[in-house]
Amino acid sequence: MTLAARGLDFGFRDHVVGRALDCFLAAGEVVCLLGPNGSGKSTLMRTLLGLQPRLAGEVTLDGRDLGAWPAAERARRLAWVPQAADSHFDFSLREMVEMGRTAHRGVFASPAPRDREAAHAALERLGIAHLADRPIHGVSGGERQLALIARALATEAGYLVMDEPTANLDYGNQSRVLEEVARLRESGIGVLVSTHHPEHAFRLADRVLLLAAGSLVAQGPTLATLTSAALSRLYGRPIEVVPVRTAGGAEARVCLPAPPANPD
């Protein structure tokens, strides 16, 4: 089971962002997408989901062209967590998360008990069940972001695509989200996550994709691919990947700006 792109050109009719890109996401793995601002990460993710038409090449879901899937069935298999979402209506967080069940019940049907159970379980998993009846404009940006993730979880999709899901979160809630992503992998779900934090990739990614100006400059297993040299090329700044030991004795990696050259 895979979500895959082959020879993919993506972007807009008047502006091609990337050409001839090959990548895939398998069930039960976490892949982190890293790259500087403007590299095309969000456009690529929206194209992989079918939210934006591809310009050339193919995108397949479990070996079948993405466009051949009925919209409702595709929505039950693919879930999307955007960077942010606004609404002209002051839905409660519970109602917002229940919208993740639309593909299961239909657009105009009322939530069934199973839909309510799935939404409540997702709110609990993200630690915001106590906010369920709050209007979305009555919570913080970080809490709204957690609700977006809960909405994706409520779909019970086999693949999640998450565009900088920790961008608006404090450190504690970032850890909560990363732990949840790891649990999703353990349950057999494939997760594609874009991030500006290489440490997040070191913590949870099986593989990484490094995107610059719409092209994959590197992809592969996290430890072998996410090197000081690769990150320095990607971001155009000297970066050092430094191994450290945690208090429990485990090895981790952190990224630091390289110190300036000694003028002497």
* Distance in angstroms between the alpha carbons of the first and the last residue of the chain: 56
The pTM (predicted TM-score) of the whole model is 0.90
Q: What is the pLDDT of residues 123-136, one digit of tens each?
A: 998 889 999 999 98
> What is the percent of the chain with per-residue pLDDT over 70, rounded to a whole number?
94
Q: Which CATH number applies to 2-223: 1.20.1560.10, 3.90.1150.10, 3.40.50.300, 3.40.640.10?
A: 3.40.50.300
Query: How much is the pLDDT for 168?
Result: 81
Q: What is the pLDDT of residues 169-185, one digit of tens each?
A: 899 989 888 998 998 99
Can you tell me the distance from the alpha carbon of 67 to that of 158, in angstroms, rounded to the nearest whole number? 18
Query: How much is the pLDDT for 84?
Result: 67
Query: How much is the pLDDT for 185?
Result: 93
Once rounded to an integer, what is the mean pLDDT over residues 2-23? 95
Query: How much is the pLDDT for 262?
Result: 64
One DSSP character per residue, the chain reads -EEEEEEEEEEETTEEEEEEEEEEEETT-EEEEE--TTSSHHHHHHHHHTSS--SEEEEEETTEEGGGS-HHHHHHHEEEE-S----SS--BHHHHHHGGGHHHH-SSSPPPHHHHHHHHHHHHHTT-GGGTTSBGGGS-HHHHHHHHHHHHHHTT-SEEEEESTTTT--HHHHHHHHHHHHHHHHTT-EEEEE-S-HHHHHHH-SEEEEEETTEEEEEEEHHHHS-HHHHHHHHTS-EEEEEEE-TTS-EEEEEEEPPPPP--
Once rounded to an integer, what is the mean pLDDT over residues 54-78? 94
- The residues spanned by each domain of the chain are 2-223, 227-264
Considering only residues 112 and 191, tell me which one the structure prediction assigns the higher pLDDT: 191
